[in-house]
Structure 1
Amino acid sequence: MNSSNHQAPDASPAPVFAIVVGEHSGDTLGAGLISALRKTHPEAKFVGIGGPKMSALGFESLFSMEELAVMGIVEVLGRLRRLLQVRKSLVRYFTENKPDVFIGIDAPDFNLGLEEKLKQSGIPTVHYVSPSVWAWREKRIFKIARATNMVLALLPFEKAFYDKHQVPCTFVGHSLADDIPLTSDKNQAREALGLPAEGKILALMPGSRGGELSRLVPVFLQSAQLLLAEDPGLTFVVPMISERRAEQFNALQQQHAPDLPLTLIVNKTQQVMAASDCLLMASGTVTLEAALIKRPMVITYKFNFLTYLLGKALVKLKWFSLPNLLAGRELVPELLQQQVTPDNILPLLKERLYQDQSQLNETFTEIHHKLRQDASAQAAKAVLTLVAK
C-alpha cells in the first residue's frame, strides 16, 4: 500500500461526502460511517451538519447540530422559519459545491425535503435510518422514493417493506447490536454499580422525556410498593438519562412513594439493565437495548389523550415494541394507555422475576445475531455503490 500523500496526476480527486444529522444518536451513526468510509478513502472530505463525534474526525459543520435538535409540533413551529433558512442555505451550498453523495441521517422531517431538492439537482442521496413508514403515515414512502436513491435500514422488516414498494433499500444492521456484547455479565455489572450481589433486582425505567416520567412514574412506584410487600428482599434501581430527569423522578417519588427504598443511577442505563433480573420500562429504542442485553421486560406506554386518539386512528401495528416487531410475535408483554395499572403489571413482573427465562434469552440471542452486521461498514459499502456510478 502506498503511504504517500501525493496523488498520481491521473488519480481522481478525493470524494466529498455531505452528511446532515439532527441529534446525538445521528452523530454516533455519522461518526461510525465516516470512520468506515475513511478506510477506503482516507483523503475524503466530509461536510454538512454534524455533532462532536463527527467533528472529532475532521468533519466540517456548516451549522450547529443544535439548530435541528427540535422535538414536538409546537417547538418545530416556533423554529420553522430558522429551519427553512438552514435548509435553503444547505441546498444552495451543496448545489454550488456538489458532493459525490449526500447522506441524511435520521431527522426525516428536515432531511427528506433537503434530499429531494438535491436529488433533483443530480446529487445521489441516501437516507440512513428509515422513518417508521411501516407503522404509520405509510404514504410517506412516495416522498422517500422521490427524495432518495437509497434507504439504509437498521431493521430487517423495514427492508421487506421497502422491497414491497420497490424503493431501493439496504439492510445494514443496528450499531447497538455491534456495540453490545453477546453476553452481559450480571454479577460484574452489580459489582461495578455497588448493587447487592444476591437477591432479585428490578429496574424501573419510565423513559427519558419529561412527559413520559409524569405519566408512568406514579404507576411504576405503586407497582414496586406492592411487589416489595410480597418480597422484602427485592432491590429497585432506577437508571436516569440526565441529572434533570433524576430531579424530576425524585420529585415524583416524594409525592407518590417517599418511603420506597431505591437506588437512582444517572447515565449508566445499559449497566443497570445488565445488573437487573427484570425491567419495567417505557417503550422506545431502549427496549431493543434490553433485548440485546438479554433481560426479560414488561413494556408500557401512555400517551397524552389527544396523541393517543390520533395515533389509534393512524397506527396500523399489532405490536408497538421493537422486540415483538423483530420477533414477529409477542415475545414480551406490552401494556398501552389504560392497561398500564399495577393490577396488570404485577403478575407479568412476578412471572419474569421468578420463573426461568432461558427460552426468551435464546430468541434474544437470535435477534442479536441478525442485527449484528457491522452496521457502519455495511452502510459505507452501500454509500460507495452510489459514488461509483
Structure 2
Amino acid sequence: MAAIRLFISTGEVSGDLQGSLLIAALFRQAKQLGLELEILALGGDRMAAAGAKLLANTIGISSIGIWEALPYVWPTWRLQQKIARQIRETSLDAAILIDYIGPNIGWGGRLPKSHPNIPIFYYIAPQEWVWSFGEGKTTQLVNFSDRIFAIFPGEATYYRDRGAAVSFVGHPLIDQLQDRPDRAKARAQLGLQEQERAIALYPASRPQELKFLLPTVLAAAQQLNAELPNLRFFVPLSQEKFRTTIEEAARELNLPLQIVSGETTALVQAAADLAIAKSGTVNLELGLQGIPQVVVYRVGAVTAWIARHILRFSIPFMSPVNLVDMEAIVPELLQDEANPDRIAAEAKAILLDPDRQAAIQAGYQRMRQSLGEPGVCDRAAQEILTAALQQKQVLSRER
C-alpha cells in the first residue's frame, strides 16, 4: 500500500508546538501499525523537525487584533492561494487543522471541493467558546469537520452542543510533563545561587507584541529589580529574530537579563520562581510546572476601542490557565491595567506572600485534573490514522 498522506495546517508559535507534538505521535502510531506516512504541512520549524514536509512557514504571518492583523491579510491570502493550487494536485488521505481560525476556515471550505470524502479533523479548535462574535464561524467549522479533538472541557461541551462530533482528548502539554527537567538540576545548570530568585519574562510570540508588550514587561522587571534583592531575569525566546530587539530594549533600561533559546528555555521554566507572561499557551506550560505567574496582554488603542465600543467585546478570562475551569487562578492584567506599576505590584505580592503562592498551586492542581490523562497526542493520532487508512482502502476498492 502506498504511504498514508496527511495535510496539516496551522500558524503561530503555539500552533507549531502543538503540531510538532501531534506529528511525532502520528509517526509513532504509524510505525506500530506498519504504515508508511507522509505529512505535508503549513507550520514552522518545530513541525519540520518532527518530520513534516513544510510547504510554507506560517509562523511569521500571524497577529491578534483588528488593526494589527491588516498587514498580514494579503500575505496570508496569497500564500493560501499558492498552497491551494499545490494541494489540489496532490492526493490526500486526511486533513488536520490546528487552531489558526481565519486561514483554517478557508481550508475547511476548499478541501471538500478538491478532495471529496477525505476526513477533516479539527485539532485544538479556535476558542469560539470563549470569545466568539457570533455563531457564523462556529457553524462553518462544525459543518466541515468530521471530528473535533477538544483539549478543554468547555471546548468539548460548546462544540458538542452545536452538533459536532467531538472527542475530548485532553491537553497535549500533559504529555510533556513527563520530560520536564528537575528543578534543582535546572537551577544548577543556570548558575542560580540558593538565595537567588529566577524571574522568567515572556513578552512576545508575535511581532506586534514586541511593540505593545515588551516595553511594559521590561519596565515592570526594572521596578522589581530596584525593589527586591537577588533577582535574576531570563527571557526565553519564542522566535530567534526577536533577540536583537529585546537586547536593545533591555540595554536602554539598564536591565540585566539573560536571553535564552533552544533547550535552555525548558531549564528556565523548571527553575523559575515567577513568570511575567503574555497570554497564550505558555501560561499552561508554566501552570503545569507549578510556576506562579502574572498574565498580561495589550493590543493597539484602535483595536481596543473598536472591541469595547462597537463589538461590545467581553470575555470571562484571557489566560488558558484561568479558562480551563473558569477560575481566577492567576492574575490577568489586560490593556490599561497592563502597566509597569500594576504588573510589578502583582509580581511582588506573589513573591512575598507564601499564602498567595499556595493558593496558586492549589488552583494549578485543580486545573491539572481537568486536562485529562497522558497519551493525548497518541489518542488523537490513532483516530486520525484509522480514518485515513479506511479512506485509502475505500478509494483502492473503487479503483
Q: What is the TM-score when the length of structure 1 is the normalising length? A: 0.83
Q: Which residue of 1 aligns with 2:168?
A: 171
Mapped partners of 2:212, 2:105: distance in 1? 32
Q: Which residue of 1 aligns with 2:207?
A: 210
8 Å CA contact 2:199, 2:234 repeated in 1: yes
- Matched residue count: 369
Task: Return the match for 1:87 from 69, 73, 84.
Answer: 84
Query: 1:385 Cα deviation (Å)?
Result: 5.6
8 Å CA contact 1:127, 1:152 repeated in 2: yes
Task: Return the match for 2:55 from 39, 57, 64.
Answer: 64
8 Å CA contact 1:270, 1:289 repeated in 2: no
Pair 1:159 & 2:184 matched: no
Distance 1:138 1:184, change over 3 A: farther
Query: 1:15 Cα deviation (Å)?
Result: 7.0
Identity %: 26
Query: 1:287 Cα deviation (Å)?
Result: 0.7
Task: Return the match for 2:6 from 6, 18, 23.
Answer: 18
Trace 1:30-109 onto structure 2 (pairs within 5 A): 30-49=22-41, 61=53, 64-66=55-57, 70-71=61-62, 72-93=69-90, 97=91, 99=93, 101-109=94-102
The CA RMSD measured in Å over matched residues stands at 2.9
Q: Which amino acid aligns with 1:65?
A: A
Task: Return the match for 1:119 from 91, 112, 124.
Answer: 112
Q: Which residue of 2 aligns with 1:295?
A: 291
Distance 1:348 1:383, change over 3 A: same
Tell me which structure has the larger Cα radius of gyration. Answer: 1
Q: Which amino acid aligns with 2:383?
A: A
8 Å CA contact 1:236, 1:263 repeated in 2: yes
Mapped partners of 2:110, 2:220: distance in 1? 51
Q: Which amino acid aligns with 1:102?
A: A
Q: Which residue of 1 aligns with 2:368?
A: 368
Task: Return the match for 2:350 from 349, 352, 357.
Answer: 352
Mapped partners of 1:187, 1:169: distance in 2? 41
8 Å CA contact 1:154, 1:174 repeated in 2: yes
Pair 1:249 & 2:242 matched: no
Query: 1:55 Cα deviation (Å)?
Result: 6.2
Q: Which amino acid aligns with 1:66?
A: N
Query: 1:296 Cα deviation (Å)?
Result: 0.7
Q: What is the TM-score when the length of structure 2 is the normalising length? A: 0.81
Task: Return the match for 1:276 from 272, 276, 285.
Answer: 272
Distance 1:235 1:339, change over 3 A: same
Query: 1:107 Cα deviation (Å)?
Result: 3.7
Q: Which runs of 5+ in 1 are unaligned?
A: 1-12
Q: Give CA deviations for 1:64-97 in whole Å, capped at 9, x if unaligned.
A: 232686324323313523421321431343xxx3
Aligned to 2:363, the other structure's residue is in SS state helix
Q: Which amino acid aligns with 1:374?
A: G
Q: Which residue of 2 aligns with 1:225?
A: 222
Mapped partners of 1:274, 1:27: distance in 2? 23
Q: Which residue of 1 aligns with 2:300?
A: 304
Q: Give CA deviations for 1:31-55 in whole Å, capped at 9, x if unaligned.
A: 2242243145322443433666666
8 Å CA contact 2:17, 2:47 repeated in 1: no
Distance 1:27 1:380, change over 3 A: closer
Query: 1:29 Cα deviation (Å)?
Result: 3.5
Mapped partners of 1:40, 1:244: distance in 2? 38
Q: Which runs of 5+ in 2 are unaligned?
A: 63-68, 392-399
Aligned to 1:163, the other structure's residue is in SS state helix
8 Å CA contact 2:27, 2:37 repeated in 1: no
Distance 1:273 1:47, change over 3 A: closer
Q: Which amino acid aligns with 1:288?
A: L
Query: 1:237 Cα deviation (Å)?
Result: 2.6
Q: Which amino acid aligns with 1:42?
A: G
8 Å CA contact 2:142, 2:159 repeated in 1: no
Mapped partners of 2:348, 2:246: distance in 1? 24
Query: 1:238 Cα deviation (Å)?
Result: 2.6
8 Å CA contact 2:292, 2:330 repeated in 1: yes
Aligned to 2:367, the other structure's residue is in SS state helix
Q: Which residue of 2 aligns with 1:10?
A: none
Aligned to 2:109, the other structure's residue is in SS state helix
